[in-house]
Structure 1
Amino acid sequence: MTIQEIETYIKQHPSGKVKLAAADIDGILRGKYLSVEKFNASLKDNLGFCDVVFGWDSNDLAYENTPFTGWHTGYPDMPLKLDLNTFRKIPWEQDVPFFLGEFSAADGTPSPVCPRQLLKKVIHESRQLGFEPFFSQEFEWFNFAETPDSLQQKKYQAPQPMTPGMFGYSILRSTLKNDFISDLFDLLGRFNVPLEGLHTETGPGVYEAAIVYSDALEAADRATLFKTAVKEIAYKHGLMASFMAKWNEQLPGCSGHVHQSLWNMETRKNVFYDRDEKQKMSALMKQYIAGQLYCLPYILPMLAPTINSYKRLVEGAWAPTTLTWGMDNRTVALRVLVGSEKSSRLETRVVGSDTNPYLAIAACLAAGLYGIKKGLHLEQPATLGNGYTDYSNGIMPGNLLEATAQMRQSTVAKELFGETFVDHFCRTREWEWQQFAKAVTDWELKRYFEII
């Protein structure tokens, strides 16, 4: 739609309001409703949005370790610019108009801590090299027969899954909850978050969805909106959806695999594909893979951002633990798929469902481009068989504290994302670890209360 068509739609919509949102550092959409009059005014001048969205954690607890904002700054407004290209109608809210935005600094330059702005910066670097990045993210998540109230009353203990049993690719289970599943597929499509596929995974109440691929910025927008939309649609059905990486020790974790390819902007050819090469992998694709393998230890918090992320990254649980790659191998960190020119791509399997899509996609793209810019050679052979036992290139950091320390100390991360972003992001992850370190868990009570 043109800007004029959008303005006409908003003016004629009976609700008299517009909904907008932007992602914080954790990928949580923070937003509000605006009157039509206020929205129209925002088209001429940016909105003011309290910068506390980058001054608190996922539970709205104010950081005490970040210089970006805090009590010392008074939590002023920061400019929020709406991207009219993100216009959507929310089908489960009577087609209320919706927009995504991004944050700027006071002088109008892109905010160095805004995830969407960071991704746009990396995409710009890709285009300067002559490559248009196309991406897609797929998600696994669990659904529960709970409400926020019921789960709080149960103190988050023993949530009831939507359906029972370990039943991957089940036709029966998707029929059992068909109203919800049909709504997901149909309403997401109408919300311009189209799905390629939707099916049950192995575990009670768990599903997997693959989002249709697109240019990298649109892919991140879709992935971010997908997570919130699924939760909202679940609410409508008296359910709760969780994208927690690992909610139960006995069950598989939830991935957020990122699929990616680069296309030549002039020839419109997929530069990852080489029909004359034995494995159909181009030299550029090999450099891209080499870049990710090299950078993974230094960007891991952007792919595994929470304490819980690392409970998923354990051996034999369908998530990688080693710095490996392979051809159509689901036990390695980087899975290469080269069926044809159109479909040839790299799947980064480290990424969990709890990730911020803007940061995960920015990290994957920046790391791959690093390999191309540095002319890295893919010297490590493809892993054949079990990637969990291939230690030839090392293993990934085992927890958030270790991963954040490697990122903070790395010159690579600062080169890829800038010192300001790395400092702020690492401080938020260090804060996350501090909150975890002082918590007394059920595991500790059961292990030490009586015996020690």
Structure 2
Amino acid sequence: MAKYTKEQIMKIIEENDIGFIRLQFTDVLGCLKNVAITSDKLEKALDNKIMFDGSSIEGFARIEESDMYLRPDLDTFEILPWRPGVDSVARLICDVYDPEGNPFAGDPRHCLKNVLDEAEEMGYSFNVGPECEFFIFHVDDNGRPTTLTHDTSGYFDLGPADLGGNVRREICLALKKMGFELETSHHEVAHGQHEIDFKYDDALKTADNIMTFKLAVKSIAKKMATCAVFMPKPLKGENGSGMHTNMSLTRDGKNIFYDPKDPLKNGLSKEAYSFIAGLMEHIDAITAIANPIINSYKRLLPGYEAPVQIAWSCKNRSPLIRIPAARGSETRIELRSPDPAANPYLLLACCLAAGLDGIKKGLTPPDSVNYNLFNMTQEELEAQGIRSLPTNLKEALEALDSDELIKDTLGEHIYNNYRELKLREWAEYSEDISRWEIDKYIQNC
């Protein structure tokens, strides 16, 4: 059942003196974009008549196919609580269409919808709960972000040591006004690092919520004269930020990952095991999406509690995939490698496609690992047949090139443009002369 009608949205706009509406969409790199309109153009927007130039957005459309139309999803209408007062601001998340009325092949939201349709044809609904981590830093005199942390607290610390608590509290209040059902909020391991978890939902809404969450966190932090950073590894020698992704499938409202008669005594169903196997089968290619920037691989290093080895467990948090203890309707698979730089629409599309592939093929995962992988040497891991994730973006892109399922999931347009942009990023990185290189070599060569 729809949350809003056109008439209801127009009435809310008028009653709340809303002057501007942001028509938001996401590009292939996971950056939130928008076209802003004044309230007198709302009816035109709700009739899907607002057009924009797609060629101006990197990786979106060529000059000769640049005209794109925004179709607002009425259920995503929200008033932005950090922009109150006269002429306040609301938003609508949009799908992107071409002039012929077809969904645009480069729209990440459409990419996810395609895989969700496939799951629905198999009788499944896909639910996802993310765990989003971020840093709060000071800004300099010009308002630019620094890497000076806002506090020196640690895991689960509270005030007065946890100076970032005030910012977190304001973020949570804003999110609640936007309809988020928050689970927990706390300080994370690293100095200045925080986590706010919100309740799982269907995958499309969760992807929308992740984009909204990042916007809200950054906006509230800026309003409080700080800067929120979703960069995976901003500080050397500290844990990086992840976005652990909890997934489950339901059929007719019942969680199909749970089986109390599991012969392996894990409480998991055959579909759950096959879903795990599918993720492990395609994880190298998924890494190019789940860990999409150069900096992502500075987080995926031994010694910083980030998953590096491709294994799964019901017992500990060191492998790539963990099965949390809850069973019954809360049975879920937690993929621990994604970071908050990932495009959530593409990430969830690829994870679901991989899991469904495992179910279709009846794949079975290797034996679970019930020991701490963080304490094992490379030789010990190899002896157990446990391999590691790609070690850099170039390796992940090479894995993506050889995985037909993940390429097909992204579609030709997104795959080609994403790959081109990421190879350009790798080339820029490879050509750069870093401060480390200068310090290390300038006097010794």
TM-score normalised by length of structure 1: 0.90
Q: CA deviation at 1:9?
A: 0.9
User: Are 1:163 and 2:151 counterparts?
Assistant: yes
Match of 2:20 among 6, 9, 17: 17
Match of 1:235 among 222, 229, 240: 222
User: Are 1:194 and 2:194 counterparts?
Assistant: no
Match of 1:387 among 373, 381, 403: 373
Pair 1:254–1:148, CA change in 2 (3 A):
farther
1:24-173 alignment, distance < 5 Å: 24-52=27-55, 54-55=57-58, 69-70=61-62, 73=63, 76-94=66-84, 96-146=89-139, 149-151=142-144, 159-165=147-153, 167-173=154-160
SS in 2 for 1:171: coil
Question: 2:246, 2:273 → 1: CA distance?
Answer: 15
CA contact (8 A) 1:348 1:364 kept: no
| Residue number in structure 1 paired with 2:436 | 443
User: Are 1:309 and 2:296 counterparts?
Assistant: yes
Q: CA deviation at 1:309?
A: 0.5
User: Are 1:293 and 2:290 counterparts?
Assistant: no
SS in 2 for 1:319: coil
Q: CA deviation at 1:69?
A: 3.7
Question: 1:55, 1:144 → 2: CA distance?
Answer: 29
SS in 1 for 2:293: coil
| Residue number in structure 2 paired with 1:60 | none
- Please, what is the CA RMSD of the aligned residues? 1.9
Residues 335-384 of structure 1: CA deviation (Å, up to 9, x unaligned): 11242212110000010122111122112111111101122122x00011
Residues 194-238 of structure 1: CA deviation (Å, up to 9, x unaligned): 321010011211101112111111111111110111000001110
CA contact (8 A) 2:4 2:74 kept: no
| Residue number in structure 2 paired with 1:330 | 317
Structure 1 consecutive aligned stretches of length 4 or more whose deviation exceeds 3 Å? 173-179, 388-391
Deviates more, 1:42-51 or 1:169-178: 169-178
Pair 1:428–1:134, CA change in 2 (3 A):
same
CA contact (8 A) 1:326 1:383 kept: yes
Pair 1:171–1:229, CA change in 2 (3 A):
same
Question: 2:281, 2:164 → 1: CA distance?
Answer: 43
The total of aligned residue pairs comes to 430
Q: CA deviation at 1:175?
A: 5.8
Question: 2:183, 2:78 → 1: CA distance?
Answer: 19
SS in 2 for 1:363: helix
Give, as a single letter, the amino acid of the residue that structure 2 aligns with 1:448. Y
User: Are 1:226 and 2:219 counterparts?
Assistant: no
SS in 2 for 1:168: coil
Q: CA deviation at 1:429?
A: 1.3
User: Are 1:372 and 2:365 counterparts?
Assistant: no
Pair 1:406–1:178, CA change in 2 (3 A):
closer
Question: 2:141, 2:52 → 1: CA distance?
Answer: 27
| Residue number in structure 1 paired with 2:254 | 269
Question: 1:20, 1:260 → 2: CA distance?
Answer: 29
| Residue number in structure 2 paired with 1:216 | 203
Gaps of 5+ in 1: 57-67
Question: 2:134, 2:141 → 1: CA distance?
Answer: 17
| Residue number in structure 1 paired with 2:420 | 427
CA contact (8 A) 1:408 1:423 kept: no
Q: CA deviation at 1:150?
A: 4.2
SS in 1 for 2:329: coil
CA contact (8 A) 1:147 1:238 kept: no
Gaps of 5+ in 2: none
TM-score normalised by length of structure 2: 0.92
Question: 1:362, 1:147 → 2: CA distance?
Answer: 38
CA contact (8 A) 1:247 1:253 kept: yes
CA contact (8 A) 1:273 1:338 kept: no
Give, as a single letter, the amino acid of the residue that structure 2 aligns with 1:37. D
Question: 1:45, 1:305 → 2: CA distance?
Answer: 32
Question: 2:76, 2:335 → 1: CA distance?
Answer: 26
| Residue number in structure 2 paired with 1:64 | none
1:234-253 alignment, distance < 5 Å: 234-253=221-240
Deviates more, 1:364-373 or 1:5-14: 5-14
CA contact (8 A) 1:163 1:173 kept: no
Question: 1:406, 1:175 → 2: CA distance?
Answer: 41
Match of 2:403 among 407, 410, 423: 410
Q: CA deviation at 1:444?
A: 1.4
| Residue number in structure 2 paired with 1:62 | none
SS in 2 for 1:16: strand
Q: CA deviation at 1:74?
A: 5.9
Pair 1:173–1:99, CA change in 2 (3 A):
farther
CA contact (8 A) 2:350 2:406 kept: no
Q: CA deviation at 1:178?
A: 4.2
Identity rate, percent? 29
Give, as a single letter, the amino acid of the residue that structure 1 aligns with 2:218. K
Q: CA deviation at 1:147?
A: 5.3
